[in-house]
Amino acid sequence: MLLTGGFMVVEVVGALVSGSLALLADAGHMATDFAALVLAYAGMRFGRRPADAKRTYGYRRLEVLAAFVNGIALLALTIWIAVEAIRRLAYPVEVLSGPMMAVAVAGLFVNLAAFAILRRDAAENVNLSGALVHVLGDLLGSVATIAAAAVIWLTGWFAIDPILSIFVALLIVRSAWVVVHRSGHILLEGTPPELDLAVMKANLAETPGVKSASHVHVWSLTSGESVATLHLCLCDGADAATVLRAVRLRLKNEFGIGHSTIEIDFEPDAR
C-alpha cells in the first residue's frame, strides 16, 4: 500500500515536470490500486474493532462507504483526463520524453514489486486477490506509458501521449465502475450476487420439519459477509428448537451466512 501510494505521488510530480497526460493518467490508475489496498487494509484493521451500543455491527461498513466514494472520485478523474486528451489532440503540447520514460520504467518495477508482495497471500484472502487484479491492470498502464515515451523520443509525435492517456483512462473507468457497482449494491442492501433467493427458499424447505420459508431477506454488511432474516412455517409436530439449529447450520454451510434472524410462523396461514 505504501509502495503504490508513494510512487503514485512520484508519477504526479513526473507528469507535471514532463507534461505527460499519459503519465498523469497512469498515476490515476495507480490511485485505484492504492485505494484497493487501503480498503483491503482497512477491512482487516477495522473489522477487528468490537461493536458498541451506537454501532451494533461495528465498523465493517466503513470499507464499503470508502470504496463507493473512491469509485465516484475516480470516475470524475477519467472525465477530466478524457476532456484534456481531446484538447491536447486539437492543440498538441510538448512532452519531455526523458523524464516521462524514467518515471514510467520506475513505475513498472514498482508494480512488479507490488505484484510479488501480494501474490504470496492473494489465494487465501479475497481482499488481497482483488487488489492483485488492480495491480495487474496497472502493469499494463505502465507498459502503455513506456510505449508512449518511446514513440515521442523516436518520432516526436506528441499526439501519442493523449491517445494512450485515453487508453489508460478506460482502464480506470473499468476498475472504478466495478468498485462503484459492488459497493453501491451493498449500500442499497442488495442481495449478494452469488445467492439466488428462489434456490435458497427451496433448499431451506428441504430441511426436516420445515414446510416453507418466506420473507427471506439477505444482504451484506461488507464484501464477503452476508446476513439474513426469514420466516419459517413448520410441519405439524416439528420441534422448533431442533429446526432452528438445522436451518442455521444449513445457512452457514451451504450459503456462507453466519448471522441469521429467524421467526417461526406458528399460525397455518401465516405468510
Q: Taking the chain, what is the end-to-end CA distance rounded to the nearest angstrom?
A: 50
Domains in the chain, number: 2
Global pTM value: 0.72
176 and 202: one domain? no
For residue 257, what are the domain limits? 197-265
Any domain includes 126? yes
Same-domain status, 172 and 208: no
Q: Is residue 169 a contact partner of residue 76, using CB atoms and an 8 Å limit?
A: no
Residue 182's pLDDT is 85
* Domain assignment present for 192: no
Please check whether residue 270 lies inside any domain of the structure. no
Please report, for the domain that includes residue 64, its CATH number: 1.20.1510
SS3 of 176, please? helix
Examine the domain organization and report whether 228 and 255 are in the same domain: yes
Q: For 197-206, how does the pLDDT look when each residue is reduced to its tens digit (9 = 90+)?
A: 999 999 999 9
Q: Is residue 135 in a domain?
A: yes
How many angstroms separate the CA atoms of 111 and 194, rounded? Answer: 31
Handedness of CA 199, 201, 206, 208 (dihedral sign): positive
Residues 14 and 104 occupy one common structural domain: yes
pLDDT digits (tens, 9 = 90+) for 5-64: 888 899 899 888 888 887 887 787 778 778 777 776 776 677 677 777 787 777 777 778
Q: Where are the alpha helices (DSSP H) in the chain?
A: 2-18, 21-46, 61-90, 97-119, 126-155, 160-187, 197-205, 240-255
For 152, the grid coordinates are 515521442
Last residue of a domain, one of 187, 209, 240: 187
